[in-house]
Amino acid sequence: MPLNNIPLKYSTEIIQNRPDYISREANIKRIGFDVKAVRREFFQRFIIFGQIGLNAYHLDSLFNSVSQMFSAGILPSIDLFTGGRKIAMLKLKKFEYEEALNDYQKTILDGIKEMNTAILQYNEAVQNYLQSKNRLDMQKKTYSLALDKRDIGASGDLEVLYARQAYLAVKKEEVSNKINSVIATIGMYKASGGADLYKIDENI
């Protein structure tokens, strides 16, 4: 049976556990940005709940652009270079800063999208499993009834055989859906960067 009571909604903060996000923040810090300031500017907090059709293009409008970041005055510390290389080095640094911020924003968008997809797939897999489990319970009763009818002479072995075949077919489907639900659970765990799925939404 799938893991019980896994939440189906999470704050966007769940993606902060992902290795790609951690790596991007480390790069932001390395080149001289104030990580907390960058996070405030780019990292919008809202709930991910497995919305159909959610993608990075729709999410893009939720975040400030790199140009807004610079105009907001949240600039990294820039060493002033002397000599003829000063302008060239400043241009190179500006390109490095913009690239780092673009990578950071893309990582946020990709992480949210992947988590949303994982929630959607998990929810669908669990629903399929529960439905197949209900069908299995009903087919088991039908098979048991066929056995009882044969025992009292109200039907023959052929009816029992058909009932057994139907039961085994539904059982195979139930096992397959159970496996899919476990795989989907692992997918959520990976998309979250290994976060505790039971505790991560306590502050939503």
- 49-101: pLDDT as tens digits: 887 767 655 565 665 555 555 544 445 555 555 555 666 666 777 788 888 88
H helices of the chain, where?
19-30, 35-42, 56-59, 66-71, 86-151, 157-191
Q: Three-state DSSP class for 27?
A: helix
- How sure is the predictor about 140, in pLDDT bands with cuts at 50, 70 and 90? very high
pLDDT attached to residue 41: 81
In this predicted structure, what is the pLDDT of residue 119?
93
Cβ(38)–Cβ(104) below 8 Å = yes
- Between 155 and 172, whose confidence is greater? 172
Query: According to the model, what pLDDT value does residue 77 have?
Result: 53
Contact call for residues 110 and 48 (beta carbons, < 8 A): no
Q: What does DSSP assign to residue 1?
A: -
**CA–CA distances in Å: residue 138 to residues 76, 132, 171:** 65, 10, 11
pLDDT, greater one: 112 or 76: 112
pLDDT at 155 over 50: yes
- State yes or no: pLDDT of 202 exceeds 50: no
**Per-residue pLDDT at 204:** 45
Residue 59's pLDDT is 65
Q: What DSSP character marks residue 82?
A: -
Side-chain-side CA neighbours of 200 within 13 Å: the count stands at 23
Half-sphere exposure for 171 (CA within 13 Å, toward CB)? 10
Structure tokens at 126: 């669990």
Q: Decide if pLDDT at 43 tops 90.
A: no
pLDDT of residue 64: 54
What confidence score (pLDDT) does residue 203 get?
43
